[in-house]
Amino acid sequence: MRARHVRHSSSSRQPFAIKIAPHRALHTMPSMSTVTIKDVARVARVNPATVSKALRGLPGKVSQETRERIEQVARELGYRHNAVAATLRTRRSDLIGVIVPDLGNPLFGPLVQGLERQLREGGWMSVVVQPPEDPSSRRAVITTLAARQVAGLIISSAESDDPMLGAAAEMGIPLVLVNRGLNERRFSCVVNDDRESVMLVLDHLRALGHTRIAHLAGPMSSSTGRGRRQAFEALMSKIPGAQGTVVDASAFTREAGFAAMQSLLARRRARRATAVFAANDLIAVGALDALRQAGLRVPEDISVVGHNDMPLVDMIAPPLTTVRIPLARMSDHAAALLREHLADPSLPPTQRVLTPTLVVRASTAPPLE
Amino acid sequence: MRARHVRHSSSSRQPFAIKIAPHRALHTMPSMSTVTIKDVARVARVNPATVSKALRGLPGKVSQETRERIEQVARELGYRHNAVAATLRTRRSDLIGVIVPDLGNPLFGPLVQGLERQLREGGWMSVVVQPPEDPSSRRAVITTLAARQVAGLIISSAESDDPMLGAAAEMGIPLVLVNRGLNERRFSCVVNDDRESVMLVLDHLRALGHTRIAHLAGPMSSSTGRGRRQAFEALMSKIPGAQGTVVDASAFTREAGFAAMQSLLARRRARRATAVFAANDLIAVGALDALRQAGLRVPEDISVVGHNDMPLVDMIAPPLTTVRIPLARMSDHAAALLREHLADPSLPPTQRVLTPTLVVRASTAPPLE
DNA sequence: TTGTATGCGTTATCAC
DNA sequence: GTGATAACGCATACAA
C-alpha cells in the first residue's frame, strides 16, 4: 500500500463532544485515542465505506461535497490512517526489507542511503537489517520480514549459499540483489562490471611499466571477490611477460588486507610484485598499513590500487588510486528493478551491469628499477 | 510484538492433501498459499485459539502433547506467522522508526549499525528513514511511521524546531534522541559531553603552546554545533592571554569546512590562529583541503583538530588528531533507553551524557614561532 | 454516488 | 487445558 495523503491539522484534536465507543474512550489516553473511519463516518453521517473511499482520494467514487465534509471531520477528530489494518485487508504492504551486511563499512552507508531514498520517493519504507552470521539466524531474518508482510527485498552482498536466498525464494518474496550477484541467474541483480574494473587497473599499471602485479583477493564466497580474482587471472595470463600473484585476504576488511600484504611481503624481494591491486579499498588501506610498518614507500617502492572509491580515500596518505563504482546509480537501478518485479511478478530475473571508472591518484607510479 | 519462534522446516510444504478454504486455494500460487492458524487448527483437530497459544509457547496454557502435535502440523502445512494481523489485534508492533539525516555521512553508518543491532537483538525491527528537508515532508515521515504503528522512534541529529518532534509528541510516540539533544528537556536523549570534548582539545593545544586558536563551528541549529561553540567561547575566555576566533561553517560537510577555512585564511597572517578546532571531522577534512590548496603545511604551519574520529581519519594526510565519541555506547544507550520508555510510558525524559576521549595523531604540533 | 456486508489472520476473554 | 467467539481497522464486491 502506498503513502497516504490524509491531511489533518495537528492543532485541533477532538474539539467537539464526539461519541467514541466508550470502552475505548475509557482505556486510552486522550492523545492516544484511536479514531477510526467508523468514528468519522458516524460524525459525518455517512458510511464507513464512503469514508474509506473519500480519504484515499479514489477518483470518481465520491462526490466533491461529501469528500470535503469527510476530510473536514477526519481532520477535526484527528483521524489517523492505520496502515496495518489496511495491509491485513489488502495483503499489500509498503515495507521493503533492505539487507546489508554491515553498516559500519563505509561502502554500505552510501548504498543504503541511495536505496532508502529511492524507495521512499516511490512510496515505500525500508526495514533495514544486518543479518547475523549463523545460517539459522539468517533464515530467521527472512521469516521475520515475511511475517511483517514485506512486499520485497533488496539484498546487498549476498553469498551464493546464503540461507536467506533460499528462504526468500520459498516464500515467494520478490528479490533484487545489489552489489554482489550470483553465479546462477536465479535472481535479478545490479552489479559492477568487475572484469572492466580489472581491465582498467591492469591497463593503468601496465602503462606505468609494471609487469609483476599482485592481487589481494577478497573472499571467494562473494561474487565480487571471485569475479575480480578470475578476471585478474584471466587478463594477466594474456599479457606477455607479465607475472601475476594472488594472495587471499580472508575478508573485505582493513585487518585482512594488513595480513594479506604481510604474507606478500614475506616473499623474496627480487620476485616480489611492484604493484598491488586490492579487491577493495579497505583491503588496500590495510595493505598500506602493512607497507608503512615494513618501512616501504608508496608509490615509490610499490604501487597500490584499491576498489570502490570509498569516502575519504582521496585524503589518505597517499591518496589512493582506485576504481569507482557507480553506487548511486546502483541503488537507483536496484530500487527500480524491484519495483518492476513488484508490478509484474512474472518478470524473469534480470541482470544490470554497471560500468566502473578508474580514479588515478598518488598511490601508483612507475616501478623504480 | 516480539520475535516469534515458530519453527518449521522449509523442505516439507503441504505434503498431505489438506482442506484449505477453496476460494484461497484457487486464487493463490502454491508457494504463496496462506496457511492460517485456522488451517492448522482444523488439521490438528483443535481450536484456533489453542494453536495461537501453542505456537507462542505461552507457558502452562497448553499441554505438552497437543503443543507438539500443533507444532508438527504447523510445520507440515508450512504455516507462517502473520505479524500484521497480530499487530492489528494487539496494537503492539515490533517496528521502531530510526531517523537519520544522511547515511552517506560516515558518522551515521556506524550509528545506525549499532542501533539496528541492539534493536534487533531485543526483538525489534528498524524502519530507517532519511527525512527530506522541507517541514511538511518531515511531519509526513512521522505520520507514515505512525500509520505503520511503530512502537517508538530514535531520532538522530534533531534540530530544536524540527516538525518531526512535535508530530511525534502529538501522537504520543515514545522517542529517544541520539547524537544531538535539545535545549529543553522534553525528550530523552543520549549525547556526547561537548564541553568535555572542547576541554580535551583546548588542553591539548595549550600544552603544545598554542594561544591563538580558531573554531570552525557547525550550524547553530544543532545542539552539537551550538554546544561546542559555546564551550569553546566559554573556555577560551578563561584562558589568560588566549585569543579565540570563531568561523561559522554552514554545515557539517567537507565543502563547508573548505569554505570556512578559506575565510579564515583571508585574514591577516600575523594575527591568524596557529591551531584550528573543527566542529567535526568532515569540516576538518575540508579545512585540510583548503590548507593544502593554500600551500600551508599541517601541522608545521597550522594544527588541525577534528571531532568524532570517523572511520579512516587515522589514514588521511596527516592522520587527524580528533575527539572520539563513543558511538557504539551511544547506540546501545539509545536503544536501551527507548526500551525503558516502551516498558514504562510514564518514564520521564532522561539525559545520558557520554564522555569522549582525545585521540592525538599527527595533525597537531607546537606552533612554529 | 452511497450503503451493506463480509473477511483479512490473529489474540483475548470468556466459558467449559 | 481447551473451545467458542468477538473484536482489531480497513477495503472491497456488490446491491441499492
Q: What is B91-192+327-356's CATH topology?
A: Rossmann fold (3.40.50)
Whether residue B155 has pLDDT greater than 50: yes
- Run of H or E residues at B190: strand B188-192
Binning pLDDT at 50, 70 and 90, where does residue A194 land?
very high
- B188-192 and B275-278: which strand pairing? unpaired
Q: Which of B84, B170, B171 is closest, CB to CB, to A149?
A: B84
Q: Supply angle C-alpha B341, B138, B311, rounded to 5.
A: 75
From chain B, pick out residues whose CB is under 8 angstroms from the CB of A139: 10
Q: How high is the pLDDT of residue A157? A: 86
CB–CB contact B88 A88 (8 Å): yes
Task: Please tell me the predicted confidence (pLDDT) of residue B184.
Answer: 82
Q: Kindly determine whether the C-beta of residue B85 is less than 7 Å away from any atom of nucleic acid strand D.
A: yes
pLDDT tens-place string over residues A31-70: 457 899 999 999 999 999 999 999 998 877 789 899 999 9
Whose CA is nearest the C1' atom of nucleotide C3? A47
* Bridging pattern class, strands B351-354 and B303-305: unpaired
Nucleotide with C1' nearest the A23 CA:
D7
Q: Is residue B160 very low, low, confident or very high in pLDDT (cuts 50, 70, 90)?
A: confident
Is pLDDT at A187 greater than 60 in this prediction? Answer: yes
How far A199 CA lies from chain B's nearest CA (Å)? 27
Confidence of residue B32 (pLDDT cuts 50, 70, 90): low
Q: What is the mean pLDDT of residues B304-333?
A: 95
State residue A109's pLDDT score: 94
Q: In this predicted structure, which of A207-216, A269-278, B31-40 has the lowest mean pLDDT? A: B31-40
Measuring from the CA of residue A53 to each C1', which nucleotide is nearest? D11
What are the pLDDT digits (tens) for A286-322? Answer: 999 999 999 999 999 999 999 999 988 998 989 999 9
Residue nearest to nucleotide D5 (CA to C1'): B49
Across A174-194, average pLDDT: 93
Residue A301 pLDDT: 96
Whether any strand D atom is under 7 angstroms from the Cβ of B148: the reply reads: no
* CB distance B366 to B208 below 8 Å: yes
Give residue B31's pLDDT band: very low, low, confident or very high (50, 70, 90). very low
Residues in chain A with CB shorter than 8 Å from the CB of B144 are: 3-4, 83, 125
Question: Tell me: the pLDDT tens digits for B131-153?
Answer: 999 999 999 999 999 999 999 99
- Neighbouring CB atoms inside 10 A of B315's CB total 20
Higher pLDDT, B18 or A49: A49
> pLDDT digit string (tens) for B43-67?
999 999 999 999 998 877 899 999 9
Q: Residue A353 has what pLDDT?
A: 96
Query: Of residues A140 and B10, which shows the higher confidence score?
Result: A140
Which residues in A lie closer than 8 A to residue B113 (C-beta atoms)? 102-104, 130
Higher per-residue pLDDT: B4 or B84: B84
% chain A with pLDDT above 70:
91
Across the interface, whether the CB atoms of B318 and A315 are under 8 A apart is answered: no
Mean per-residue pLDDT of chain A: 89
Tell me if A108 and B106 make a contact (CB, 8 A cut-off). no
CB of A341 lies under 7 Å from some atom of strand D: no
What pLDDT, on the 0 to 100 scale, is given for residue A279? Answer: 98
**Rounded CA–C1' distance between B51 and D3, in angstroms:** 11
The CATH number of the structural domain formed by A194-326 is: 3.40.50.2300
Written as one letter, the residue type at A362 is: A
Answer with the residue of higher pLDDT: B21 or A135: A135
What's the CA gap between A51 and A33, in Å, rounded? 19
The Cα–Cα gap between B181 and A17 comes to 38
| Model confidence pLDDT, tens digit, residues B112-124 | 999 999 999 999 9
pLDDT at res. A342 = 95
User: Is the distance from CB of A189 to CB of A176 less than 8 angstroms?
Assistant: yes
Range list for CATH 3.40.50.2300 in chain A: 91-192+327-356, 194-326
CATH number belonging to domain A20-81: 1.10.260.40
Predicted pLDDT at A3: 39
* pLDDT band at residue B22 using 50, 70 and 90 as cut-offs: very low
Please indicate whether, in this complex, the C-beta atoms of A103 and B125 are within 8 angstroms of each other. no
Residue B2 identity: R
pLDDT confidence of residue A32: 55
Q: pLDDT tens digits for B217-226? A: 999 988 899 9
Residue predicted with more confidence, A256 or B185: A256
Of B4, B110, B285, the CB nearest to A315: B285
pTM of the model: 0.89
How does pLDDT run across A72-117, given as a tens digit for each residue? 999 999 999 999 999 999 999 999 999 999 999 889 999 999 999 9
Find the range with the poorest average confidence among B6-20, B257-271, B307-321.
B6-20
Q: Residue B15: what pLDDT?
A: 30
Q: Residue B308: CB partners within 8 Å, gap ≥ 6?
A: B107, B280, B281, B322, B323, B324, B325
Look at A125 and B161; give whichever has higher pLDDT: A125
